[in-house]
């Protein structure tokens, strides 16, 4: 049987094995072993708490624990003891994803218990929902009444085994939880439950379902209010690609609409991608003491190669936290303001005519760029990052098709590929904010109208930064800061 104490002891005894070659400097990672989905993201007692899916014993997916870290600014994190371990009969094969909510002075975690029921762990399992509570935000006790929602509370016409990732929230004095599921016939859906006390739950309704083009199972739902609208975020599995969008095996999307709590329906017109890159999954949000809605995702992708699993003893990281803002009828995602506090060694250049390739005279593996291009007559223009010899990661814009591209075919070891997204110029200008951190690139396009995230694994000497154009364009401004 796994325990929290054994997990903490193991981590402490093995941290000396970590290989720091690709360890990130301003993103949250586990201290040792495997990390995936963010869980229980909440602002509590003056700090941000972020829990995460964690297998502390190896850098591979295993019986899930909940790792736990806290921060005052979402950048510098302090690890706390493991919060949950699969140590009860109802969660013996994993404490799967869930969320957190503050009630009075106490912090509650709601999570999925996973039980393997037969010889094939991928086919034979059941799931249930449980609560754990803490008076100090560090030590959590699972409730005696668990599970608080069992499979017997599932409607008959949905999967009787996929029933997970509760996001709990309060509205008008009533608690609600939305959970991911499917209909067993190829369509993902979201279920909603209601409670007056976080302990006793009743089924309300199926609030949303795939239109046939949104994957066969929905995971990690998050439902929140923003500027008078309701927003539903989710992670559809095996969602077919739609043009340039949803090119990964598993995707993320959001809908803006209205939640009818009485009827249990989420009314929306369309869905949009949250991140258009390679590595962003299971996003979860919280609201902080400043009133900001902050989202963070797992900066990795299922069923793909992760180079640090071999000989590095860790795998997985969280994305940069992003502030969510409503612009008309779409969401923008922008870097949190706190990032500016970590800038140093600033460099600026302006009014640079570009025709061909230009070394920008600066370098690094952990930095922020703010670059504004004027397209002028260029067919294509952009940036080449982490450059050395043949290695480069290319961020480019094509005037012919209005697409922005993130290409990592020559980025180093690990997966290659290219992701594309349509982007309009603003009076001929393209504005980029790029964050590079050892083995990651996150690019915020046109003030956060689009975001692309990807892991890269270049050699230690690949530090160069270049700009290029096919045809002539100009760099209106180029700013770089190292991040420390």
3-state DSSP assignment of residue 116:
strand
Instruction: Kindly report the CATH class assigned to 341-483.
Output: mainly beta
What is the greatest pairwise CA distance in the chain? 69
Check residue 286 and give its pLDDT.
98
Q: Comparing C-alpha atoms, which of 415, 456, 417 is closest to residue 305?
A: 415
Per-residue pLDDT tens over the stretch 156-165: 999 999 999 9
Please state, rounded to an integer, the average pLDDT across all residues of the chain.
98
Structure tokens at 403: 């697409």
CATH architecture group of domain 4-11+23-335? 5 Propeller (2.115)
Per-residue pLDDT tens over the stretch 346-382: 999 999 999 999 999 999 999 999 999 999 999 999 9
- Angle at CA of residue 124, ends 210 and 93, nearest 5°: 100
> Which residue, chain included where needed, has tokens 């230009």?
358
The bridge status of strand 429-437 relative to strand 391-398 is unpaired
Give the 3-state DSSP-derived string for 280-343, with helices as H, strands as E and coil as C: CEEEEEEECCCCCEEEEEECCCCCCCCHHHCCCCEECCECCCEEEEEECCEEEEEECHHHHHHE
- As to burial, measured by CB atoms within 10 angstroms (0-12 exposed, 13-18 middle, 19+ buried), residue 111 is buried
* pLDDT of 83 strictly over 90: yes
Does residue 403 contact residue 396 with C-beta atoms inside 8 Å? no
CA dist., res. 379 & res. 401, Å (int): 10
The bridge status of strand 253-260 relative to strand 418-422 is unpaired
Check residue 1 and give its pLDDT.
80
Per-residue pLDDT tens over the stretch 87-119: 999 999 999 999 999 999 999 999 999 999 999
Check residue 382 and give its pLDDT.
98
CA dist., res. 305 & res. 435, Å (int): 22
Does residue 164 contact residue 178 with C-beta atoms inside 8 Å? no
What average pLDDT score do residues 309-317 get? 97
Q: Comparing C-alpha atoms, which of 301, 359, 304, 331 is closest to residue 451?
A: 331
Q: Comparing C-alpha atoms, which of 101, 80, 86 is closest to residue 55?
A: 86
Integer-rounded Cα radius of gyration of the chain: 22
Alpha carbon 229 to chain centroid, angstroms: 22
Structure tokens at 74: 């979402």
Looking at the DSSP assignment, which residues form a beta bridge with residue 418? 407
Per-residue pLDDT tens over the stretch 225-241: 999 999 999 999 999 99
Check residue 365 and give its pLDDT.
98
Q: What DSSP state is assigned to residue 242?
A: B
| DSSP string for residues in 248-261 | SSB--EEEEEEEET
- Where in the chain are the domains? 4-11+23-335, 341-483
Q: Which of 8, 37, 135, 359 is catalytic?
A: 37
| Catalytic status, residue 37 | yes
């Amino acid at each position: 049987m796994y325990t929290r104490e054994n997990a903490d002891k193991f981590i402490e005894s093995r941290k000396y094995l970590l290989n720091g070659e690709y360890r990130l400097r301003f993103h949250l990672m586990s201290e040792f072993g495997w990390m995936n989905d963010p869980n229980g993201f909440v602002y509590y007692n003056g700090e941000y708490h972020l829990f995460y899916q964690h297998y502390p014993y190896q850098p591979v997916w295993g019986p899930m624990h909940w790792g736990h870290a806290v921060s005052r600014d979402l950048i510098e994190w302090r690890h706390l003891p493991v919060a949950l371990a699969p140590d009860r009969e109802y969660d013996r094969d994993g404490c799967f994803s869930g969320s957190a909510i503050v009630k009075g002075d106490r912090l509650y975690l709601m999570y999925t218990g996973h039980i393997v029921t037969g010889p094939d762990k991928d086919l034979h399992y059941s799931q249930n929902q449980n609560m754990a509570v803490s008076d100090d935000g560090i030590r959590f006790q699972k409730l005696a009444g668990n599970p608080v929602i069992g499979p017997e509370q599932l409607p008959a016409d949905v999967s009787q085994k996929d029933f997970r990732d509760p996001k709990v929230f309060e509205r008008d004095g009533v608690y609600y939880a939305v959970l991911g599921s499917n209909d067993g016939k190829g369509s993902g859906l979201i279920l909603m439950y209601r409670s007056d006390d976080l302990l006793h739950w009743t089924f309300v309704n199926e609030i949303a379902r795939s239109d046939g083009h949104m994957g066969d199972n929905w995971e990690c739902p998050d439902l929140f209010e923003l500027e008078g609208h309701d927003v539903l975020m989710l992670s559809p599995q095996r969602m077919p690609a739609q043009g340039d969008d949803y090119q990964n095996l598993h995707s993320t999307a959001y809908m803006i609409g209205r939640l009818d709590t009485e009827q249990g329906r989420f009314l929306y017109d369309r869905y949009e991608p949250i991140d258009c890159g390679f590595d962003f999954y299971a996003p979860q949000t919280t609201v902080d003491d400043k009133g900001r809605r902050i989202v963070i995702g797992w900066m990795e992708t299922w069923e793909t190669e992760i180079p640090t699993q071999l000989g590095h003893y860790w795998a997985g990281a969280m994305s940069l936290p992003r502030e969510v803002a409503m612009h008309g009828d779409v969401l923008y995602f922008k870097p949190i303001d706190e990032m500016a506090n970590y800038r140093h060694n600033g460099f600026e250049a302006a009014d640079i005519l570009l025709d061909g390739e230009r070394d920008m005279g600066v370098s690094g593996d952990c930095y922020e760029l703010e670059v504004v291009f004027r397209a002028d007559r260029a067919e294509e223009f952009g940036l080449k990052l982490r450059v050395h010899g043949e290695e480069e990661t290319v961020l480019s814009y094509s005037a012919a098709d209005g697409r922005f591209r993130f290409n990592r075919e020559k980025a180093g070891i690990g997966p290659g590929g290219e992701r594309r997204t349509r982007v309009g110029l603003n009076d001929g200008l393209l504005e980029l904010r790029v964050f590079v951190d050892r083995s990651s690139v996150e690019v915020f396009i046109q003030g956060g109208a689009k975001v692309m995230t990807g892991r890269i694994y270049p050699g230690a000497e690949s530090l160069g930064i270049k700009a290029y154009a096919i045809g002539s364009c100009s760099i209106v401004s180029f700013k770089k800061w190292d991040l420390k």
